[in-house]
A and B are shown apart, each in its own frame.
Chain A
Amino acid sequence: MDTALILNFLNTPWVFLIWTTFLKSFILLNLVLGLVSLTVFAERRVSAFIQDRVGPNRVGLPMTLLGGKKDIFLWGLGQMIVDPLKLLLKENFQPGSVNGFYYWLAPKLVMIPPVLVLAVLPFGSSLFGVQMTIADLNVGVLYIFAISSLSVYGITLAGWASNSKFPFLGGIRSSSQMISYELSLGLSVVPIFMICGSLNLNEIVDWQVKNGWLVAPFWPKGFSVDLLLHHPAAVLSTFHAGLSLQRIALWIPLLISFVIFLVSIFAETNRLPFDLPEAEQELVGGYHTEYASMNFALFFLGEYAAMLAGSGAIVSLFLGGWSLPFIPDGSHGALWGLVNILIFFAKVSLLLLFFIWIRWTLPRFRYDQLMKLGWLGFFPIALANIFITALILAYIK
Chain B
Amino acid sequence: MALIVNRPKLSLAERCYLPSILAGLAITWNHLKRAIFNKGIVTMQYPEEKWDANLPEWYRGAPTLVSDEHGKDRCVACQLCEFICPPRAITIKPMEIPRDDKWSKVEKRPEEFDIDMTRCIYCGLCEEVCPEQAIYLRKDYSITGLSRAEMIHDKETLYKLGGVRTGLVFKWNELK
Interface string of B81-97 (1 = CB under 8 A from A): 00000000000000000
Q: In the complex, which residues 29-70 of chain A have their Cβ closer than 8 Å to any Cβ of chain B?
A: 46, 48-54
The verdict on B143 contacting chain A, using a C-beta distance below 8 Å, is: no
* Complex Cα spacing A362 to B24, Å: 7
Segment at the interface with A among B31-39, B113-121, B123-131, B133-141: B31-39
Complex contact A52–B41 (CB within 8 A): yes
Complex contact B42–A49 (CB within 8 A): no
Knowing A361-B25, A361-B27, A362-B21 are in contact, say whether A53-B43 is a contact too (CB < 8 A): yes
Interchain nearest-CB distance for A135 vs B (Å): 36
Select the residue from B35, B36, B42, B43 with max chain A CB neighbours within 10 A.
Answer: B35
Complex contact B45–A54 (CB within 8 A): yes
The verdict on A179 contacting chain B, using a C-beta distance below 8 Å, is: no
Complex contact B32–A49 (CB within 8 A): yes
Knowing A361-B24, A362-B21 are in contact, say whether A52-B45 is a contact too (CB < 8 A): no
Interface residues of A, count at CB 8 A? 14
Contacts of B42 in A (CB 8 A): 52-53
Chain B, residue nearest A53 (CB): B43
Interchain nearest-CB distance for A76 vs B (Å): 12
* Complex Cα spacing A50 to B24, Å: 12
* Complex Cα spacing A361 to B28, Å: 6
User: Which interface class (under 10, 10 to 19, 20 to 34, 35 or more) fits B?
Assistant: 10 to 19
The verdict on B29 contacting chain A, using a C-beta distance below 8 Å, is: yes
Knowing A357-B25, A361-B24 are in contact, say whether A46-B41 is a contact too (CB < 8 A): no
The verdict on B56 contacting chain A, using a C-beta distance below 8 Å, is: no
Contacts of B36 in A (CB 8 A): 49
The verdict on A227 contacting chain B, using a C-beta distance below 8 Å, is: no
Complex contact A51–B31 (CB within 8 A): yes
Chain A, residue nearest B37 (CB): A49
The verdict on B8 contacting chain A, using a C-beta distance below 8 Å, is: no
Interchain nearest-CB distance for A68 vs B (Å): 22
9 cross-chain pairs, A with B, having the tightest CB-CB distances, nearest first: A49-B35, A54-B43, A361-B28, A361-B24, A50-B28, A49-B32, A53-B43, A50-B32, A52-B42
Measuring CB to CB, which residues of chain B are less than 8 angstroms from any residue of chain A? 18, 21, 24-25, 27-29, 31-32, 34-36, 40-43, 45
9 contacts between A and B (CB under 8 A): A48-B43, A49-B32, A51-B31, A52-B35, A52-B40, A54-B45, A259-B18, A357-B32, A361-B25
